[in-house]
Amino acid sequence: MSQIPVPENETARLQLLHELELVDSESEPLYDNITELVKEVLGVDAALITLIDEERQWFKAKVGMSETETPREHSFCTYVVTSGQTMVVEDARQDRRFQDNPYVIAENGVRAYAGAPITLFGEYHLGSLCVVATEPRSFSAREVRYLEILADWIATTITDRYELKNYRAERDILAQGPVCAVVWRLEPDVHLSYVAENAKRVLGYDDDYLLRPDINYESIVHPDERQELLDRMQRLIDGEASALEMDYRVIGQKNGQDVIRWVYHFARADLDKDGNVLRVRGYLLDDSKGKLLELQLRETNQNFELALTAGDLYTWSWNLQSNQLHTSQPWQLVLGYPGDTPERLDWRELVHAEDFELLKHNLRKYLNSGEERFEARFRIRHRDGHYVWVHSVGRLVDTDHDGRPLRMTGIHHDISEQVANEQFLQQQAEILELVSHIQHDFMLAKDFSDVCDEALPKLMRMTSTTVGFVGELPPGSSRYNLVLAHGLRIAADQKRTEGYQQLIRQGLEVEVSGDVIDNVLKKGQPQVCQQPISKLELHCQPPAFPELKNGLVLPLYFKRDVVGLMILGNSDERFKAHFLNLLRPMLDTLGTLMHMRRMDEERRAAVNELRRLATTDELTGVANRRVFWEAVEQRYDEFMRYDAPMSVAIIDLDHFKKVNDSFGHAAGDEVLRVFCARAKEQLRDIDLLGRLGGEEFAVLFPYTSRDDALKAMERVRKAVARASINFAGKELQITMSAGITEVRRSDDKLDLWLARADAALYQAKEKGRNQCVTG
């Protein structure tokens, strides 16, 4: 036999069964008559009313059965109790649940069974009305229906007796106590139909007075609460509310004077089986003393809260078992929540993420160490999103019998202003230190982008922002839609940040536009944007900033001129009013360093230009005579030390005087420029081309033999000869002659080396020009 089933509500079911006091009770004619009727109508061997307790099946009534009880584990009815449904077994020997049941395998044992549940209050199946046959048989639908109707009759009888017994006991108790029981009928109109005898003591009115047809109960209720009571009673009658619970005043008379009693009123509707309201049952308690104490206590608490609030102190109470934190209404107002309709505040969701773990650590430390009080500083989120700084102290005030903590109470102190002052002083010191540091670094490295790479992350951390940008207006420009990027940080996208930093090193120009940009760059007005910034207000391309939900857009000054801007955006908190004053030293420093960078670039450009003018031929851009001879001397000395091959070529443009005489000096200048350009195209980077004067040039070939130098000069000669020069609509052809020689160990003087090159050039001219000769 398989293990017997057990209902899901077994504990509550057994509790009700014992409360009814039916098990082991005396027999009753009603129940005996029902079993006899069932046996006769269904033509079975036995009919039983069974009740199932923890271990047995007890028979409240029986016919055709000698036993008064059987073990529960052998009971067919326990399956009915578990399912709450009628069960029919036509042949128990064929049913796996009962094949080895001792009451089945016995001689003349149970063969057929039908049982209907006895159910109270729609969910508690106490037992069954069942029939048993010693031969297999079936049961018709009509027979099963008879069984179910009679089982419902038994359940209704048990329920009515139970409720009547409780009702009488309740009335007896209430009549002598401080609670007055009343009942309102609904038809033909709403009126009291029952008032307990103690009405005079509780309400100040006799029960006979309140039951009079010309007296409505609400007439004794204070006018300020009368309509609310009527409205709530109507909702109860209409089935819109399951219960009524409220305090109100009742007006009575004593010695010609009005007497006020506070009454606590609880009411619930009695329903029929279809859920319709039959009557309203109420319980009235004279709560005058308690209410007066409550009002006095409320006034005391309000005065206490007022005193605490004056010192920015607010009470809290925490139930550690349910993890419910209750705070005073003034504290809820501090956090932006309405005090008249307080919302449930979950402190775990409101504490700043960075403070949460430390707060839990301090709490555990307090609860485990037995210290005198708990203490912590943390941030808690205001309803509008910003954070309030709190200094909270508390103490454990309740524990269970094992010493486990149950409840804590304490006080919050709003220290936002104090923390803001501390942070401002700290941030001010950090700003001044950062200003000093970047000034020092700039003086050493002269790299403004390095300054921005160091300053931006610290400024973003200080302002709790995740986007940072520094841009410079081009010097002397009247345009305000283009800036040179010097720094860019996007905290959430390190890869993009590194990519843009590489572009900044190459000179990234950014187009900027929008009303916010105009106010900053054109008008020099700092912009504090607490709300999302649209592209019509601020747009940069490139880079594509993340969507800015807020931002600081600040001008960078040198003296009174705007030289650039800084953007700090996407803070989790509102920008504080003191940020502009806090950042002013940094803004002035960045503007000054930006101006110094410009001045330094202009100085270096001027130095480079002077150097270029001092070392190059102004007309052709090649090395001038002085620079060329200095290079020749260096290479000569190098050869004398290391024997590194060196060659030189002396060049003369053929018939250059005719060009000047025929076409003018402008044409001659153009010929010289074109010659130098074509010559440099054929020479290596290490080869030095110089102008010695007029149409005479020279080439120094480091680490080059005479033969290799000849090959190079032949390339130059051919390139010059095969291309004509267009000047003023006329085609000019030029050629060149060159003498080439390599320095030798026997050249104990530099002039000997150069004299051979001059002699080779003379031979080239003597041979007809447009050729290269070595010497």
137 φ/ψ angles, rounded to the nearest 5 degrees: -160, 165
Mean pLDDT of 205-211: 91
Mean pLDDT of 144-160: 93
Q: Do 50 and 194 belong together in one domain?
A: no
Tell whether 477 is covered by a domain. Answer: yes
Q: Do 458 and 595 belong together in one domain?
A: yes
* Cβ neighbours for 345, distance < 8 A, ≥ 6 positions apart: 325, 327, 332, 335, 337
Per-chain mean pLDDT for the chain: 85
Domain boundary (391, 414, 437) is at 414
Q: What is the distance between the alpha carbons of residues 70 and 407, in angstroms, rounded to a whole number?
A: 51
Q: What does each C-alpha distance from 267 to 71, 204, 245, 250, 279 come to in angstroms? A: 44, 20, 7, 17, 10
Domain count, the chain: 5
Quickly tell me which residue has 């000698």 as its tokens. 66
Q: Do 575 and 651 belong together in one domain?
A: no
Tell whether 707 is covered by a domain. Answer: yes
Q: How confident is the model at residue 1, as a pLDDT?
A: 46
Q: Do 553 and 652 belong together in one domain?
A: no
182: enclosing H helix or E strand: strand 179-185
Q: What is the CATH number of the domain that holds 347?
A: 3.30.450.20
Domain that holds residue 393: 293-414
736-742 and 730-732 strand pairing: unpaired
Mean pLDDT of 265-274: 89
Tell whether 420 is covered by a domain. Answer: no
- Does 303 score more than 60 pLDDT? no
**Quick one: pLDDT band at residue 240, thresholds 50, 70, 90?**
very high
- Does 300 score more than 60 pLDDT? no
- Does 426 score more than 80 pLDDT? no
Mean pLDDT of 668-677: 91
> What does DSSP assign to residue 616?
B
Q: What is the distance between the alpha carbons of residues 283 and 441, in angstroms, rounded to a whole number?
A: 84
Bigger pLDDT: 165 or 143? 143
> pLDDT digit string (tens) for 603-634?
676 666 566 656 688 888 899 988 899 999 88
Q: How confident is the model at residue 648, as a pLDDT?
A: 95
**695 included as an active-site residue:** yes
Mean pLDDT of 275-292: 85
Q: What is the distance between the alpha carbons of residues 408 and 395, in angstroms, rounded to a whole number?
A: 6
Q: Do 452 and 408 belong together in one domain?
A: no
* Cβ neighbours for 104, distance < 8 A, ≥ 6 positions apart: 92, 93, 98, 110, 111
Question: Could you tell me which of 122, 186, 154 has the C-alpha nearest to residue 51?
Answer: 154
Q: How confident is the model at residue 113, as a pLDDT?
A: 97
Q: What is the distance between the alpha carbons of residues 754 and 760, in angstroms, rounded to a whole number?
A: 10
Find residue 647's DSSP bridge partners. Answer: 701, 742
Residue-wise burial string across 620-646, b where 16 or more C-beta atoms lie within 10 A, e elsewhere? bebbbeebbbeebeebbeebeeeeeeb
Q: How confident is the model at residue 367, as a pLDDT?
A: 83
> pLDDT digit string (tens) for 505-518?
888 888 888 899 89
Q: How confident is the model at residue 335, as a pLDDT?
A: 81
Residue among 299, 695, 714, 731 flagged as catalytic: 695
- Token pair listed for 21: 């006091």
Q: What does each C-alpha distance from 658 to 664, 670, 723, 725, 736 come to in angstroms? A: 9, 14, 18, 15, 14
Q: Of the ranges 134-148, 435-449, 638-652, 725-739, which one carries the lowest mean pLDDT score?
A: 435-449
- Token pair listed for 295: 């009002």
Q: Of the ranges 34-43, 468-477, 514-523, which one carries the lowest mean pLDDT score?
A: 468-477
Q: How confident is the model at residue 678, as a pLDDT?
A: 92
Tell whether 2 is covered by a domain. Answer: no
Tell whether 225 is covered by a domain. Answer: yes
Q: Do 301 and 387 belong together in one domain?
A: yes
> Could you tell me the pTM of the whole model?
0.37
Q: Do 300 and 281 belong together in one domain?
A: no
Q: Do 21 and 98 belong together in one domain?
A: yes
Q: What is the distance between the alpha carbons of residues 225 and 247, in angstroms, rounded to a whole number?
A: 9
Q: How confident is the model at residue 438, as a pLDDT?
A: 74
Q: Do 19 and 103 belong together in one domain?
A: yes
- Does 491 score more than 80 pLDDT? yes
Q: Do 376 and 240 belong together in one domain?
A: no
Q: Do 502 and 580 belong together in one domain?
A: yes
Tell whether 41 is covered by a domain. Answer: yes
Q: What is the distance between the alpha carbons of residues 307 and 328, in angstroms, rounded to a whole number?
A: 13
Q: What is the CATH number of the domain that holds 520?
A: 3.30.450.40
Q: How confident is the model at residue 307, as a pLDDT?
A: 44
Tell me what percent of the residues of the chain surpass a pLDDT of 90.
38
The angle subtended at Cα 175 by Cα 173 and Cα 180, nearest 5°, is 110
Bigger pLDDT: 582 or 50? 50
Q: How confident is the model at residue 175, as a pLDDT?
A: 61
Which amino acid appears at position 87 of this protein? M
- Does 743 score more than 90 pLDDT? yes
Domain boundary (556, 576, 603) is at 603
- Does 293 score more than 70 pLDDT? no
Q: Of the ranges 263-277, 325-339, 734-748, which one carries the lowest mean pLDDT score?
A: 325-339
> What does DSSP assign to residue 367?
H
Q: Do 307 and 259 belong together in one domain?
A: no
- Does 729 score more than 80 pLDDT? no
How far the first Cα of the chain sits from its last, in Å, is 127
Domain boundary (580, 603, 626) is at 603
> What does DSSP assign to residue 620?
T
Tell whether 422 is covered by a domain. Answer: no
Tell whether 608 is covered by a domain. Answer: no
Q: What is the CATH number of the domain that holds 650?
A: 3.30.70.270
Mean pLDDT of 329-339: 76
Mean pLDDT of 538-544: 81
